[in-house]
């Protein structure tokens, strides 16, 4: 488990990283993906750069300490899918990563399963590539 450093902002996005964050997630793209704020290497290492902004939990979830790191990584992965940088076939794996990080952060199993169920059933449009 590793911590993230972020601040709350009063803009479209609710949070912004104050330090870059990296994690090995097991998503293996065929080529390195490098965007302004997200780098995903072919070995499964993701780096989310300082100043990346995300919106945290989406209803019916809440922004709690044990959800912030999971929402950061999940939002970054969904962004890569929306931008056609990462194949949407990785969506299920991204949702499983969300649940796993929630559990690592100490979220109770019932809530972590609920969060996973909610994104699995209602968040597909958030990952679908932009037209």
Residue 74 within a domain: yes
Check whether 88 has a pLDDT greater than 90: yes
Residue 51 within a domain: yes
Residue 131 within a domain: no
Residue 57 within a domain: yes
Residue 87 within a domain: yes
Predicted pLDDT of residue 10: 79
- The rounded mean pLDDT for the chain is 94
Report the predicted TM-score, pTM, of the whole model to 2 decimal places.
Answer: 0.94
**The CA-based dihedral angle spanning residues 85, 89, 93, 96, taken in that order and rounded to the nearest 10 degrees:** 110
* Structural domains in the chain (count): 1
Q: Which domain holds residue 30?
A: 6-123
Check whether 1 has a pLDDT greater than 60: no
Residue 1 within a domain: no
Residue 107 within a domain: yes
Residue 78 within a domain: yes
| Distance between CA atoms of residues 125 and 131, nearest Å | 12
Predicted pLDDT of residue 84: 97
């Amino acid at each position: 488990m590793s911590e993230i450093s972020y601040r709350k902002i009063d803009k479209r996005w609710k949070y912004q990283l104050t330090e870059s964050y990296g994690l090995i997630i097991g998503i293996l793209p065929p080529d390195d993906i490098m965007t302004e704020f997200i780098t995903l290497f072919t070995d499964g290492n993701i780096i989310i750069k300082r100043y990346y902004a995300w919106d945290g939990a989406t209803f019916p979830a809440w922004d709690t300490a044990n959800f912030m790191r999971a929402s950061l990584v999940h939002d970054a992965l969904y962004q890569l899918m929306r931008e056609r940088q990462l194949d949407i076939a990785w969506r299920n794996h991204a949702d499983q990563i969300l649940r796993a990080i929630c559990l690592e952060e100490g979220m109770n199993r019932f809530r972590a399963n609920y969060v996973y169920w909610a994104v699995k059933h209602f968040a597909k449009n958030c990952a679908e590539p932009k037209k």
